[in-house]
Amino acid sequence: MTSLALKLSRKLWPEIDHLPTEVRTSGMANIISVLYSAPLFLVGLVWLALETSPEVLQDQFAFLVLTGIFMYALEKLSFFLTIETGNGRYISTEGGLDIVLLWAAIFLVGPSAIWLGVFFVLLVFFRLWHSYTTTGERWNSLRNLTMGGAGNTLAVLVTLEFYERIGGEIPLPGLNPNVVLPALAALGFYFLLTFLLWSGFVLFVLIHRGSLFASNSSAWIIRVVLMALALPNLATPVGVLAAGLYAQNTIFMYLFYVTGIFLIAILARKLSMEAEFNRQRARQLEKLELLGEAIINSPPDASYLPQLLEANVPDMFAGRVIIWINDNQVLLRHPADWDLDPQPVAAWLRNQESASAFVINDPLPWMENSVARRPSVVCPIHDNEAGENIGGIYLEGRRVLPPWGKKELHSLFPPLYSLASQITSALHQAERYAQLLDYQRLSQELSLAGRIQASFLPNRMPDLPGWQLAVTLQPARATSGDFFDFIPLTENKLGIVIADVVDKGIGPALYMALSRTLLRTFATQYTDLPDRVLSLTNQRILSDARAHLFVTLFYGILDWETGEIKYCNAGHNPPILLRHNSPLTNTSLVKTGIPIGIDEDAFWEVETLSIQPGDQLILYTDGVVEAQNQEGMYFDEELLLEAVQARQGNSAHEIQSAILDALYRFIGDYPQMDDITLMVLARDPHSTPGVDPNNKISL
């Protein structure tokens, strides 16, 4: 049966093989139903034409027209029942009290009144046909037409034959038991015929229940089908009462009775609508809660977000839905074969502040021409942090429900806003997670860069007989723009460097490495010419580097035997020389030129002075004298001198500790803003020239 059904379906719908399993199976069921019910509908029409009496139509024309008007009004007040199959699909059945007036007319007029039922089947078909957008929807509509047409013609005519054979009369003479019981028996017989008419469809569904329903129980499926067939025929017995009242009390009691039917129809529709919307709200809240928990428990990179939306959103809303971000990244498309292009909607939605609802006849602002479509809602996904819309949700109402109005569509705004908020939250979580990974990766890279940079600095102090040396470098970040160096030149000479690359970060750290390398290279070539070393370093930096950075540095050549120091100060903070024999005076090793890395033709003057026994030379970068406290005050040279003079005559290490202690007391809890480099060079008070020349300097 399946093989034959598939072959027939391929002939009539060639694309059916490319559809999802559920859609393909549902489409095959509709096609098979049309193929066997269409001939029955045609037979019923022919039989009805033969049974129709022109005289009866003429005599009862006013009554039939009035009944048709009432039926049309009651058809607008239909009530319905929606049953979830558990896999994102629904079965919806609709009934109305117009069937009451149809059977009342049949019992009063006879077969000629059946044309009212045929008219309404065709009316519904042609009214909705233009709004269908998929082939599957059109086959479903054809199935409703042929099955409904066969039920309203052939099944009714067979029922009337049965009714007459058990003693029923047309027109119905009254409401006594002998008259009512045959009519009720005929209606029961009609229901059996209706079920028999649908049995082919039911059999196909039972065979393929695994691909259509979450439950695999045949009994459950039969109960669902019986409920779906019973609802449209639920009020048919009341038609006997309407016919009897008309027969006994003419048109006035009949109209009074119809008024009551209208009131009941209004109440039934309101109750069914409220029940359906309550069901939807409960499902939306449930799915929103499940989605929120799933987002919290899922990996923080949002890689599972499309799967989470696929698992929760289709059951959340009664319709087709597409969710996108960044205009073209689709997170969810349900059903998967829906070919809607979200870009025109996204372009329009980008500047919208709130959700919008569109019923069937409303023009769509992102489309120039009107096309067949469903009632729809469009909701922006708004990023409050960025202050802009980053995506959207487009929802079309499901066909299994009665047409949605503005009120019903607006009721979807709160859950759509909640869904959009959850998506934004998931994206923010992913963004923060990515930032954290980037930060961790950057921290690791900076830590590695800091370790590499630290390896460029001397790992131990030079051994200078008769001298003390203490130095510290405390970066403000993982890497430093400050550096110091001790360069062994000859047996009795040592190059001393303290420098500061302008700015902070990886760039200045790389610049520092380049500057140190060049400085060392030229220092070993020109062991007694500090100006020549700076000049060559400056020219090479300007020719090789294009970072537009510059370096302030102090470079001195110390003869540790004689105490003479020959130096150039390239725009650096002047080191302070404190004399042992004059503790209240000091000498600044002032700038002798501009920083290197600015002007290729720059030059530096050379200064020379002597460091006597007991003298102390303090070298530092601007991170010391420009350190700030919470009041915005600076730890200037005056405070630096106070700290040094309080410990003058002590060891180099003690003087360094005294300066740092005073500095950190001054800063307090205020964060360190710049690299701090401090070097103290002290000559022992009792040291004399003429140290053993075999005493080597090593690093």
pLDDT at 681: 93
Supply the angle between the helices 236-297 and 177-207 in degrees, to the nearest 10: 30
* Cβ count within 10 A of residue 469: 19
Q: Given pLDDT bands bounded at 50, 70 and 90, which one contains residue 36?
A: very high
Which CATH topology does 302-432 take? Beta-Lactamase (3.30.450)
Pick 693 or 139 by higher pLDDT.
139
> Token match 């802009």: residue?
388
pLDDT at 201: 82
β-bridge partners, 213: none
378-424 pLDDT per residue, tens:
999 998 888 888 899 999 876 545 556 788 888 888 999 999 999 88
* Mean pLDDT computed over 64-69: 92
pLDDT at 533: 93
Q: What are the residue ranges spanned by the domains of the chain?
A: 27-289, 302-432, 457-683
Which CATH topology does 27-289 take? Arp2/3 complex 21 kDa subunit ARPC3 (1.10.1760)
Sign, Cα dihedral of 202, 209, 4, 10: positive
The CATH number for 457-683, chosen from 3.60.40.10, 3.40.220.10, 3.20.20.150, 1.20.1250.20, is 3.60.40.10
What whole-number percentage of the chain has pLDDT above 70?
88
Element (H, E) at 578: strand 576-578
561-605 pLDDT per residue, tens:
999 999 999 999 999 998 887 766 788 899 999 999 888 889 999
- Is the bond into 182 cis (omega within 30 degrees of 0)? no
Winning range, highest mean pLDDT, from 126-140, 333-347, 399-413, 425-439: 333-347
| Lowest model confidence (mean pLDDT) among 185-189, 291-295, 655-659 | 291-295
Helices (H) and strands (E) in the chain, counts: 21, 17
Cα 193 from Cα 196, distance rounded (Å) = 5
Query: Rounded to the nearest 5°, which phi and psi values hold at 356?
Result: -135, 145
To the question of pTM greater than 0.85 for the whole model, the response is: no
Pick 183 or 215 by higher pLDDT.
183
